[in-house]
Structures are given as structure tokens and as C-alpha cells.
Amino acid sequence: MNSRLTPPSPVLYDHLILTALREDLGVAGDLTTEATVSAGARGEASIGARATGVVAGIEVAARAFTLFDPEVIVDVLIGDGARVAPGDVIARVVGPARAILTAERTALNLLGRLCGIATLTASVVEAVAGTGASVVCTRKTTPGLRVLEKYAVRAGGGANHRFGLDDAVLVKDNHIAFAGGLLPALAGVRERIGHLTMVEVEVESLVQLEELLTLRALGYPVNAVLLDNFDHDQLRAAVEAVAGAILTEASGGIGPGTARAVAETGVDLLSLGWLTHSATVLDVGLDVEPG
């Protein structure tokens, strides 16, 4: 595992695994395994990559086995953040055969999903390397899996945007519309939000950016600006106007083929919802060792 990468505590995701196991077991349990494998049988299996990618969530996958049956032992051979190729063995699983087979699908579903996000993130991080821009995710995550999916982004070399509505202020176009304009929106933020809370504001034009910078100069709290659907020339102009006073974040319409060009405009951050909502699952599998 990448020594700089800290996986989330099982306290944050055990309930997700238990929910997934209950969903799979239903009320009757694993009919096939119980009918075909004796209760005392033990075995060993390997979890391997069947495609090239980046590992994320192997400890989560391991937890699916051990939560179902503490007698299962998982030996992780390739940690999160590492690259794998087809045929690489990521972990070995030893213990009661029934438990290995019953927890298999839950473990692989989680592992494949998280590896897919990490792999996609790594490809974008590589694309913007050397520009100084960071790649960040959004709240466009699978309901219930946010803590794991955002961790997978970190495993791929990206960074996290806010985790939820309660850890930062992001004033978007709809907030501004309901508030009656940028000024009343920021007035409300200044009145209600403490000094330790990050405040970011979305703008949709250079004119609106100019208004935002004027309000900031008057003492309204702004730490970052989200440049929504700006073209490359507009992004460069925005970066020049901000002149390093606040963080600049580009969002909207950024894809694998355009990320580099966006990063080269000088923005600090590229936020990409598709890192989590459109990642392709990495093909991983479990094979029983002969014996």
C-alpha cells in the first residue's frame, strides 16, 4: 500500500458491507454453497486482476470476508494505489470454503468499483502532470458509498472536494438565484458562517467573476471560485484576473481528452464528477487454488 494513503476506518463502512451481504443472502442464505460444499471444508483462493489498473479498496474487500466469518484470513499482496496487470494476484484468502464463496461477490463488487475509480483518476492525474493543477472529485457519488469512492479517488492520485453539505460552503448558481443575487447570497454567508469554513462561489461569466472579486475586496468571505463551463480563453482570463488571490477551480465539460488543455490555462483545480459517476469497473476475480 502507498504509505501516504490512509484507508478509511472500518467504522465508516462496516454497515455498508453488512447491508450488501444481507442483500445477497436474503432470508434463506447461500443455497448453492450450502448444497454443494460441506460445512467443514476449508480452502484457499486468490483475488486477481484481469485487466490493467490501479488497486483501491483491497482492505474493504478483505473486510467483507472477515465480517462474514472471522475465521477467514486475507493476506494482501498488492496494496491500494499500486498498479496491476492481468494475472497479478492482489490477495490470497484462506479459511472456511463456504464463507469464501458466500462473501466473494460482495467483496469483488466493492473492489472492482473502487479500482475502477482509482484507475480512471490515475489516468487524468497523469494527463495533467506538470501543470500544477490538482484533480478533484465531486459529490456525484453512489448513494451510501461516498466515503469509499472518495477514498478511491485518493488512491488514484486525486484529491477530494467537500464530502458533504456540512464541511464547506459552495454557493452555486441556484443559491444565487434564490437569494436574489450574489451580494445577498454572500451577505448571508458572512452573517452565518464561521471563519474556519471554506467558502467557494460558482460564477458563470467573467463579468460575474469581476463582481465576485469586488465583493471579496469589500470583505465578503471568498476562498475559491468555481469557473463553470468556461472555455479555455475564458479560463486563462479568469486566472489572470484572480492573480492568485483565491483558488481557481474549473468544472463542466472536462473529459479525458480535454483535461490537459484545461489544466494548462493555469487553474488550480479540475473538478470531475465522472471520476465517480462514470468510472468503468475494473475486472477482478477470485479463483480457488487447487489442493
pLDDT tens-place string over residues 188-207: 999 999 999 999 999 999 99
Give CA separation, 173 vs 124, 181, 192, 245, 273, in Å: 27, 9, 19, 22, 17
Q: What is the mean pLDDT of residues 168-178?
A: 98
Q: What is the mean pLDDT of residues 217-235?
A: 97
Domain with 153 in it: what CATH number?
A: 3.20.20.70
pLDDT band at 2 (very low <50, low <70, confident <90, very high): low
Whether 167 is a known active-site residue: answer no
Sign of CA dihedral 138, 144, 147, 151: negative
Same domain, 139 and 251: yes
Query: Who contacts 73 (Cβ-Cβ below 8 Å, separation ≥6)?
Result: 66, 93, 94, 95
Same domain, 257 and 171: yes
| Residue 3: per-residue pLDDT | 59
How many angstroms separate the CA atoms of 283 and 84, rounded?
11
Burial of 196 (0-12, 13-18, 19+ CB in 10 A): exposed
Q: What angle do CA 23, 28, 31 make, to 5 degrees?
A: 100
| pLDDT above 90 (res 264) | yes
**From 80, 104, 149, 228, the catalytic residue:** 228
Name residue, grid cell 447461500.
30
Confirm whether 207 is domain-assigned.
yes
Whether 192 is a known active-site residue: answer no
Q: Please provide the DSSP assignment of 179-236 as one string.
A: HTSHHHHHHHHHHHS-TTS-EEEEESSHHHHHHHHHHHHTT---SEEEEET--HHHHH
Same domain, 109 and 133: no
Confirm whether 148 is domain-assigned.
yes
Confirm whether 172 is domain-assigned.
yes
Q: Which three cell numbers stand for residue 34?
A: 450450502
Same domain, 149 and 256: yes
What percentage of the chain has pLDDT greater than the value 70?
A: 99
In terms of residue numbers, what domain contains 81? Answer: 10-114+280-288
Mean pLDDT of the chain: 96
Whether 150 is a known active-site residue: answer no
**From 139, 140, 190, 236, the catalytic residue:** 140
Confirm whether 1 is domain-assigned.
no
Same domain, 130 and 269: yes
**From 172, 190, 236, 260, the catalytic residue:** 172
Whether 231 is a known active-site residue: answer no
| pLDDT above 90 (res 291) | no
| Residue 253: per-residue pLDDT | 85
Confirm whether 3 is domain-assigned.
no
What does the buried/exposed string (b/e) look like for 173-185 if buried means 16 or more CB atoms within 10 Å of the residue's CB? eebbeebeebeeb
Whether 228 is a known active-site residue: answer yes
Domain with 108 in it: what CATH number?
A: 3.90.1170.20
